[in-house]
Structure 1
Amino acid sequence: MNARGALGRYGEELAARTLAGAGMTIVERNWRCRAGEIDIVARDGDALVVCEVKTRRDGRFEHPMAAVTPVKAERLRHLAERWLDVHGGAPPGGVRIDLIGILLPTRGAPQVEHARGVA
């Protein structure tokens, strides 16, 4: 695994722990289809959460939360629809798309931001 892949995996692990710590249940990680990949699928009560995870090192690139453009948001909605088609449809609480941005400073603990309902 290259450094970028390792950084992404580390960020996804932090994100999964953050979601679990908020009382969500992780349903699936790194679900793939021809259209792309969903980083994390979770349950938040009776709602399904499709979660995109963006991890960046401090000062190297744009803030991770800025990485989800309108085009990326549309792609996430499409991926959520594909996941629902494969897994039997939407739950009673509907579907929400969240973003977790993780910034890894040179020193100190990672900064984790969780934005709910971004798309």
Structure 2
Amino acid sequence: MGNNETGRAGEDVVCDFLADRGWTVLARNWRYSGGGLRGELDVIARAPDGMLAIVEVKTRSGTAFGTGFDAVTPRKVAQLRALTSRWLAETEGAFAQVRIDVASVFTPPGGPVTLEYRAGVA
């Protein structure tokens, strides 16, 4: 499985996880490029209580590069915040609370898929 397929599979796992808990996925793979800002928001979802979560999904099939959480650096968090502001500016929905979550999905060859989810990392 290539990197894009692995990433898509991880996002599918996360979207199913959220849907099973009553969340509504509003967008996937939202991309922006302009004004010196460029990037993608993997999953944008609304909780049953109205909380908006921007979910950064990191999928790994091995441990050579650490866990998915290891890849979410302060620089990445700053980019996610800026992209979130941009998405909110372009969206008509009103959200009282917004947070950034990280989901680490592990898909070892021949092994079970595991998901670890951390809410409110930023």
State the TM-score, normalized to the length of structure 2. 0.89
Aligned-residue offset at 1:20:
1.1
Aligned-residue offset at 1:62:
1.1
Q: Measure the CA separation in 2 of the matches of 1:50 and 1:104.
A: 22
User: 84, 88, 92: which one pairs with 2:92?
Assistant: 88
1:41 aligns with 2:41: no
RMSD of the alignment, in Å? 1.4
User: Unpaired segments of 5 or more residues in structure 2?
Assistant: none
Q: Which amino acid aligns with 1:42?
A: A
User: 50, 56, 59: which one pairs with 1:55?
Assistant: 59
1:12 aligns with 2:11: yes
1:107 corresponds to = 110
1:98 corresponds to = 101
Output one character per residue of 1:26-68: Cα deviation in whole Å (capped at 9) or x when no partner.
0111111102110000001211111100000122321111110
Aligned-residue offset at 1:89:
6.0
State the TM-score, normalized to the length of structure 1. 0.91
- Counterpart secondary structure, 1:27: strand
Q: Which runs of 4+ in 1 moved over 6 A?
A: none
1:78 aligns with 2:82: yes
User: Unpaired segments of 5 or more residues in structure 1?
Assistant: none
| Percent of pairs with identical residues | 40
Contact 1:48 1:90 in 2 (8 A): no
Q: Which amino acid aligns with 1:54?
A: K
Q: Which amino acid aligns with 2:103?
A: I
Q: Which amino acid aligns with 1:100?
A: A
